[in-house]
Amino acid sequence: MSIESQNVTDYPNSNTIFMVWNLNESPLLKDTFQQLCALVLNLNNSVFNRFPDSRASCVMGIGYEGWKKLELPTPLPKELVNFEEIRGVKHTAVSTPGDLHFHLRADNKSLIFDMAIEISRLLSPVAESILEINGFKYWDTRSILGFVDGTENPHGEDRDYFAKIGEEDLQYKGGSYLFVQKYLHNMDAWKGLSTEEQEKVIGRSKENDIEMSDAVKPSNSHIALANIEGENGEELKIVRDNMPFGRPSSNEFGTYFIAYSSTFTTTKKMLTNMFVGDPVGNYDRILDFSTAVTGTLFFVPTRNMLDEFSG
């Protein structure tokens, strides 16, 4: 039978719900998880059948502690560990708990709202919800900082190559490493910068989304530090689907950073560049306006694995 991944390479959609749950000790846990795996497959099949144009999907990831609590197969996916915080001179990529992660995407919010209801109804007796964020497409895919986000994401076959585990971990081939961070922005400080200064923080022009030439791009700009190469000079990428969120009346503005990758090493290297800096101390200026308040690594099993887990 062919390996079918979950919808990790889908393109960003207009509405997203992110949910993180922690599992409690419960005699019902394993049975509920079986039902949950069946539910995730069912939700995807059903929405694809009923609303094929909505590009709606539900992707479930499992954290290291969650994998152990559920007594899922060993050995574990090679890089599935508890994310260790990355501490720089000024900013820290914190590590926070999370047993299950849900990434629900649709053009019409009603679709994912109902999916979230079904998942919550099933999980509530055995788990606690620790995060729920409603992300939305802001203008032409701009982050809340006003810059277009997602431009340098891989396309075509590269999307699969960079997002899905290959031959290097045969047991988990087709799976993916999912890393998420909830960022809160200091918009008052950000708006205090001129457009030119903001462009130097990101490394691209604001209105037209054009990359600065290497001659003028500051070495501590976001894209200078996030753009990394492998040992042989090849570009290393991840598949990002960041979403803005906010509550204007409470002055809360944020970005939910989310990335799928075939190897967590790539994401970790980007994080180290951003938080520790390259060279050390030359950290990403975006962090002076953005605080990571969560940080969790998950493994996204294939649909075949979900089918097995569902019993």
The residue ranges that bind ligand HEM (CB under 6 A) are 143, 145, 147-152, 181, 183, 202, 204, 222-223, 226-227, 242, 255, 257, 267, 270-271, 274, 286, 290
Tokens of 201: 């923080």
Q: Which is nearer to ligand HEM, 82 or 151 (CB)?
A: 151
Q: What is the dihedral of CA 130, 134, 138, 142, to 10 degrees?
A: 20
Q: Which residues contact 63 (CB under 8 A, 6 or more apart)?
A: 82, 97, 98, 99, 100, 101, 296, 297, 298, 299
Smallest gap from Cβ 290 to ligand HEM, in A, equals 4
Gap between the Cα atoms of 287 and 266, Å rounded: 19
Q: Which is nearer to ligand HEM, 29 or 212 (CB)?
A: 212
Smallest gap from Cβ 57 to ligand HEM, in A, equals 21
Q: Which is nearer to ligand HEM, 37 or 224 (CB)?
A: 224
Query: How many CB atoms are closer than 10 A to CB 60?
Result: 24
CA 131-202-269 angle, to 5 degrees, is 65
Smallest gap from Cβ 300 to ligand HEM, in A, equals 17
* Residues facing residue 258 across a β-bridge: 180
Gap between the Cα atoms of 9 and 228, Å rounded: 20
Smallest gap from Cβ 307 to ligand HEM, in A, equals 31
* Residues facing residue 135 across a β-bridge: 16
158 counts as catalytic = no
Instruction: Determine whether 191 is exposed, middle or buried from the number of CB atoms within 10 Å of its CB (0-12, 13-18, 19+).
Output: exposed
Nearest to 99 by CA among 298, 306, 309, 301: 298
Q: Which is nearer to ligand HEM, 284 or 303 (CB)?
A: 284
To 10 degrees, what angle do helices 29-50 and 109-123 make? Answer: 160
Residues in the chain: 311
Q: Which is nearer to ligand HEM, 93 or 126 (CB)?
A: 93
Using DSSP's 3-state secondary structure scheme, residue 170 falls into helix
Q: Which is nearer to ligand HEM, 114 or 160 (CB)?
A: 160
Residue among 149, 169, 241, 284 flagged as catalytic = 149
Smallest gap from Cβ 117 to ligand HEM, in A, equals 29
Q: In terms of DSSP H, where are the helices of the chain?
A: 29-50, 64-69, 109-123, 156-163, 187-191, 195-202, 222-226, 264-275, 303-309
Smallest gap from Cβ 158 to ligand HEM, in A, equals 12
Catalytic residue annotation: 149
